[in-house]
Amino acid sequence: MELSGEEFEIFYEKYKNYVYRICFTYMKRAADAEDCAEDVFVNVLSKNMKFNGEEHEKR
pLDDT in tens, 40-59: 999 888 876 665 656 556 66
Q: What is the pLDDT of residue 40?
A: 93
Of the candidates 11, 6, 41, the residue with the CA atom closest to the CA atom of residue 23: 41
Sign of the torsion formed by the C-alpha atoms of 48, 19, 31 and 26: negative
The contacts of residue 59 (CB under 8 Å, 6+ apart) are none
Q: Is the pTM of this model over 0.85?
A: no
Q: How far apart are the first and last CA of the chain?
A: 19
